[in-house]
Amino acid sequence: MIGEREVVVVGLSHRTAPVELREKFAISDEAMSETFGELVAPKVSDEAVILSTCNRVEIYALVPAEDRGRGILEYLASSRGVRLRTLKKKSYLHAGQDAVEHIFRVASSLDSMVVGEPQILGQFKTAFAAADRHKAMGQVLRRLMRRTVSVAKRVRTETRIGREPVSMGRAGVELARQVFGDLDGRVALMIGAGEMGRLVATSLMAHGVDELVIANRTYSRAVELADQFSGTAVHMDQLQRYLERVDIALASTGANRYLIDRAMLAPVMRARRFRPLFCVDLSVPRNIAPDVNALEGVYAFNVDDLAEVAQRGAERRQKEATRAEAIVQSEAERCYRSLGARSADPIIAGMTLRAEEARQVELERSRATLEALDPRQREVVEAMTRAMFKRYLHNAILEARRLGELGDVDGLEVLNRALHRQDEEGEP
């Protein structure tokens, strides 16, 4: 517990609810203001952050400890016209350290559909900014959200969770990067209009490939695709000419013969002065003769090679996810403890204030004697009395922090009262 409050997560995700239900709870940018207004209200929550993506809708909130998020569930069910029982069945509710751990897992992309995908952290930052803009965040959630961003960054830096390719598209990108490094400004040639070819081309374009040239047996289809990809359509008989120019060649056609073979590529490579050419054959039967790989400067891969890279990437990501989970768990424990310790802050501030008041009263009482001292001696007395009070309060502050970490509200109250009474009894 954080004082008399608790951090909770109420949400639905791709793991628990179908899209038909998730879409009912999706919160658009326009609806944010109204939703925050209803969420941050008495008997619902003190502070709230809303994360609404295509895979999940989650509300992170600071609620009264005895409520543990039930108010938010009821609000969601009534505002969306869904039966509370249905919502409870298809949603999840985490409280306390479990909630903090869940938030860290989501932001670190451990709960994503594709584990390790990078978009979630950006979505998190947007959610954080929206809550800030609508003044829905107080000190506790602000601290928690900042910690969340830094934990997610730590996971990405210390593990390779986001770096291993898990799709055919990313596998193609990774292999191309192994040849070229940066893909910015590269030109790719897509031969055919196969689904797999389009997937890899999309991925390459998303990772920096500048220009896409499309060759197809049916020229009108090439033009259609060129419009879709903002590329250039060319006729199949211009293939050799374009192979001299491009950096990457993707073949994905239904043809049952080699469209690129060694006899065709050897003069192309000489004309290119052996500048690297990365070839990916995604067709079955194959369209690029495998022996072109022996030519200097040609790096040829087929659908099995890409599948192998993607498979290894998925295995590696799974391994990295285990390491990431360990980071998240230890960070959540530490963060929750520190949030709890902060709940003792008002009591500690009160203790310090009362101690300072008592010191001032005593100094005032001895003013006549103190005035007889020279300035240096007066400074020594000031410093000494301050140090005495500090030492006197030291153990009490440590105890207050410990009780805060444990969420022991009653203990904190007893400590506060004891010190308060002590002060009062200390008065002459």
Partner 1 sequence: MATPLYTLALLAYILAFTISLMDREAWAGLRRLLGPALWIGYAAHLAGLGATAVSGGLAVLGSPAGSLAFISALVAAGFLWTRRNPRAEAVGGFVVPLAIVLLALSLFLPGESAATGDGGLWFPVHLTMMLVGLGGFALAFGVSLLYLLVRWRLKNKKLTGLSRLPSLETLDRLNTRFVVLGFAALTVGIAVGGIWAASLAERPPMGPTIYGSLVIWVWYAAAIQVRVVGGWRGRLAAGFSVMGFVGLVSSLIGVFIAVSGWHL
Site residues (vs partner 1, CB under 8 A): 158, 163-164, 174-175, 177-182, 273-276, 293-294, 296-297, 299, 301, 305, 308-309, 312, 319, 323
The DSSP bridge partners found for residue 6 are 63
| CB neighbour class for 395 (10 Å; exposed up to 12, middle 13-18, buried from 19) | exposed
Q: Would you say 124 or 301 has its CB closer to partner 1?
A: 301
Nearest distance from residue 66's CB to partner 1, in Å?
43
Nearer to partner 1, 181 or 426 (CB): 181
Of the pair 227, 304, the CB lying nearest partner 1 is at 304
- Residue 335 among the catalytic residues: no
Is residue 44 within 8 A of residue 71, CB to CB? The reply is yes
CB of 102 to partner 1, least distance (A): 25
Question: Which residue among the candidates 54, 113, 353, 387 is catalytic per the annotation?
Answer: 54
Pair 11, 56: CB distance under 8 Å: yes
For partner 1, the closer of residues 102 and 272 by Cβ is 272
Of the candidates 20, 5, 11, 8, which has an alpha carbon nearest to the alpha carbon of residue 76? 11
Q: With contact defined as beta carbons under 8 Å apart, do 105 and 321 qualify? A: no
| Distance in angstroms (rounded) separating the CA atoms of residues 351 and 355 | 6
Rounded to 5°, angle at Cα 354 from 350 and 358: 170
| Residue 131: CB minimum distance to partner 1, A | 34
CA atoms in the 13 A half-sphere facing the CB of 95: 14
Q: Which of 175, 120, 128, 186 is nearest to 153 (CA)?
A: 120
> How many helices (H) and strands (E) in the chain?
17, 10
Q: Which is nearer to partner 1, 131 or 295 (CB)?
A: 295
Q: CB nearer to partner 1: give 49 or 173.
A: 173
Closest of 253, 255, 250, 220 to residue 235, by C-alpha: 220
Which residue, 143 or 177, has its beta carbon nearer to partner 1? 177
CA 113, 114, 118: angle at the middle one, nearest 5? 110
Q: Which two tokens stand for residue 324?
A: 């990431």
Shortest distance in whole angstroms from residue 118 CB to partner 1: 16
Q: Which is nearer to partner 1, 111 or 174 (CB)?
A: 174
Minimum distance of partner 1 from residue 122's CB (angstroms): 22
Cis peptide preceding 285, ω within 30 of 0: yes
Interstrand relation of 211-216 and 187-191 (parallel, antiparallel or unpaired): parallel
What is the sign of the dihedral through the CA atoms of 366, 371, 374 and 379? positive
Could you tell me the two tokens for 68? 């543990």
The pair of three-digit structure tokens given for residue 193, joined into one six-digit string: 């209009």
Nearer to partner 1, 132 or 244 (CB): 244
SS3 26: coil
Cα distances (angstroms) measured from residue 111 to each of 23, 83, 91, 120: 19, 26, 14, 10
Q: Shortest gap between Cβ of 330 and partner 1 (angstroms)?
A: 14
Distances (CA, A) of 6 to 1, 40, 46, 410, 411: 5, 14, 10, 15, 17
Name the residues annotated as catalytic.
54
